[in-house]
Structure 1
Amino acid sequence: MSQPTSTRKTKIRRAARCAAVALATTVTGSAAMAQDALSLRLNWTMKGEFTPFVVAASKGFFAEQDLDVTVKEGSGATLALQSVATGQDDFAYVPSVQVIQAINGGMPIQAIATVSKVDSMGMVARPGVTLATPADLQGKKVEIAASSTFNNIWDAFAAKNEIDKDAVEVVAVNPGARFGLLLSGQVDVLADIFITNELPVLEAKAGESLDHIAVGDFGFPIIGYTLVARSEMIESQPEVVRRFLDAAKEGFEFVSANPADAAEIAVAAYPEQLMPEATIGQVEALNAFLAEGSPSALFVGSDEGWQATLETLKDTGVIDAFEAPGSYYTNAFVTND
């Protein structure tokens, strides 16, 4: 028996309303589950010391925080910071020196994590050359790039460590030729390397351990890498910033606990840029530097550490003046375990 027309219309209207509610629920649910699309700009091309971010992306740590993070290679700290300040990227991973210079210049950014409490800036000697203290630079041919941070502090470093500069032959070479000149014996020391980057690569090429020293061990302790965000994002999206740091922190913790596995993940993700032996060396060097300095808590900075860095940079002429440490960094978004 057929149903009255009015009854059929009523059922159709109810079905339509139910379908509309179901569709709305689906759309709303999808929106709630949508990941925040973010970008992290590195200060240079991919290298082993950036492995924690590769791990965070590859193992889904960012995704677990409802974040879709694109890790982008860079071409210098200053350009990375400019990209964040102008909103082209959301975060940058750069050394404290450039962060301080940028903020002093009015750039609207702040360090949201103090990653390396001690900078890995250092020097390395060619095979067969002793380099145990700064005094060993005397009588050597030493490469110092004109554009390097170390070039800015060379005079002060020499004075503090009582180096006779007249006894050191300083040369500047093409950046692309530095490794070859060192390993071929045409220069004795590269004085503007980073122990977490160039040293493992050079040792892999040389096939042996090389004498090296860290600048921070000889009177110039400064903070190393930081994570940076623009001021507007810090103010308007604090929970996004917090979730990003939680995921990045998990990446660093994984690398600390599983260096070999982490290096393997990085090499698999970037096979053309990363060589296995150098990458595991860079990861191990990164872990060693992350264990130095204070506070010991990952990503947490201190007024004392930033103040010491600011004073060192001012005393050596890298900066002319500085504000209170809180103008440069914050711990507000670091989750304490």
Structure 2
Amino acid sequence: MDTEAVRSFVRAADLGQLRHAADELGVTQQAVSKRIAALERELGVRLFTRTARGVELTLDGRAFLPHARGIVADVDRAVAAVRPRSRALRIDVLGLRSAQAVALHDYWRSHPETDLDVVTLRVDDPHVAAAAVQTGDVDASFRTVTDPATLPRDVRMIHAFDSPLELLVGPRHPLASARTLTPPQLRGLRIRVPGIVPRSEWAEFYDQLAAAFDLHVDAAGPNFGDEVLLDALADSADLATLVGARDRYIWPAGHDLRRIPIVDPTLAYPLSLLVRRTNPHPGLRAVVDHFARLAPLPEPVWLPSWAPAPRRGAGDTGRSVVRAVAYPVG
């Protein structure tokens, strides 16, 4: 069924004249007449009768009108759902329990009127995510391309916020009672971080982190998911992992896992947004500004060498940032 013919029928029914419907739809009166005639042939009924004042609905036309209104409304909603300037702001996150999703949820709770669509592209290569931004499949993606020169010309990368790391251990771990830890205290620990994909941005992050602080980060073997890792931490007296402070993890109460902040320096994962250079979604600016107002991390802060420069808010005079360099072992 031709949805434009249905739309022409609805407007003609509402306005009572084909000429007025044609003016509103931006077509000729003859085009509206032909559309309605084709619709009548397809349905096998007459929808209008001609009068001196215009057109009036037949009994069949009256029966069809509410359904036709529903068809037009459904089409309009479908178009709005995929049209970048009118659909919901669509942002790609790595996972719905990630710091990115948590920060977006915090924004939405304070701005519930925002039409927001949080999606997960489920791709490891950030260049694939950049292509999705370029084509408009998503309006922004929480990905980092460590070499910005390889980005598409019409996609840029902006700093969103930095996610501090914590050590996650079970109750029998030697460091379980610590209030905070420093990076040197992590040396020699058995740190398991499954799911590090070779050549991904997080693989480069952990490579630089391990080199800077002489850490052993084990990513070998299959990734069976967070629940399996959390079970292993609860049962082990020496296993640990690194998690983002804003990442959401849920485990049974009996696990009694401990999240321990790492300070002096704070180890931070820089989170960036890939966005289009031109015609960004109108709702994106408020989200980016929200991230810029997040509380600063305890200084000094360690960041990998490819971390983009943070956006500075009013009154921000800078911060102490330690880039990826090797720390003395002794």
TM-score, with structure 2 as normaliser = 0.51
Structure 2 residue aligned with 1:261: none
* 1:216-257, Cα deviation, whole Å (9 max, x unpaired): 7426555x3232213xxx23x1xx44x22245369x59xxxx
Letter of the 2:114 partner, please give it.
F
Q: Which residue, out of 107, 115, 120, partners 2:160?
A: 115
Q: CA RMSD in A?
A: 4.7
Structure 2 residue aligned with 1:124: 168
Letter of the 1:178 partner, please give it.
L
What are the equivalent positions in structure 2 for 1:41-80 lying under 5 Å apart?
41-47=91-97, 49=99, 50-51=101-102, 53=104, 56=108, 59-62=112-115, 70-76=117-123, 78-79=125-126
Greater strand share, structure number: 2
Counterpart Cα distance in 2 of 1:295 and 1:169: 30
Q: 2:150 matched to 1:105?
A: yes
Identity %, equivalent residues: 11
Counterpart Cα distance in 2 of 1:171 and 1:21: 65
Q: Which residue, out of 135, 139, 147, partners 2:184?
A: 135
Judge conservation of contact 2:164–2:244 (CA < 8 Å) in 1: yes
Counterpart Cα distance in 2 of 1:185 and 1:217: 27
Q: 2:275 matched to 1:229?
A: yes
Counterpart Cα distance in 2 of 1:140 and 1:37: 48
Judge conservation of contact 1:143–1:187 (CA < 8 Å) in 2: no
Counterpart Cα distance in 2 of 1:44 and 1:83: 16
Counterpart Cα distance in 2 of 1:53 and 1:221: 18
Shift of 1:210: 0.8
Change (3 A) 1:17 1:170: closer
Letter of the 2:164 partner, please give it.
S
Q: 2:85 matched to 1:40?
A: no
Judge conservation of contact 1:143–1:173 (CA < 8 Å) in 2: no
Change (3 A) 1:137 1:52: closer
Structure 1 residue aligned with 2:69: none
Judge conservation of contact 2:102–2:247 (CA < 8 Å) in 1: no
Structure 1 residue aligned with 2:295: 291
Structure 1 residue aligned with 2:135: 87
What are the equivalent positions in structure 2 for 1:252-263 lying under 5 Å apart?
none
* 1:149-178, Cα deviation, whole Å (9 max, x unpaired): 45312443325xxxxx6xx69573532242
Judge conservation of contact 1:39–1:72 (CA < 8 Å) in 2: no
What are the equivalent positions in structure 2 for 1:116-195 lying under 5 Å apart?
116=161, 118-129=162-173, 130=175, 132-138=181-187, 140-145=189-194, 147=197, 148-159=203-214, 172-176=220-224, 177-185=228-236, 187-191=238-242, 193-195=243-245
Judge conservation of contact 1:182–1:188 (CA < 8 Å) in 2: yes
Structure 2 residue aligned with 1:334: none
Counterpart Cα distance in 2 of 1:301 and 1:88: 33
Unaligned runs of 5+ in 1: 1-14, 63-68, 160-164, 254-286, 317-337
Aligned pair count reads: 227
In structure 2, the residue corresponding to 1:228 is in which secondary structure?
strand
Structure 2 residue aligned with 1:256: none
Counterpart Cα distance in 1 of 2:230 and 2:187: 21
* 1:87-118, Cα deviation, whole Å (9 max, x unpaired): 152333325xx2333x2434442124x321x2
Judge conservation of contact 2:141–2:275 (CA < 8 Å) in 1: no
Shift of 1:181: 1.5
* 1:172-230, Cα deviation, whole Å (9 max, x unpaired): 35322422221111642113x222215x435x65564614234x7426555x3232213
In structure 2, the residue corresponding to 1:229 is in which secondary structure?
strand
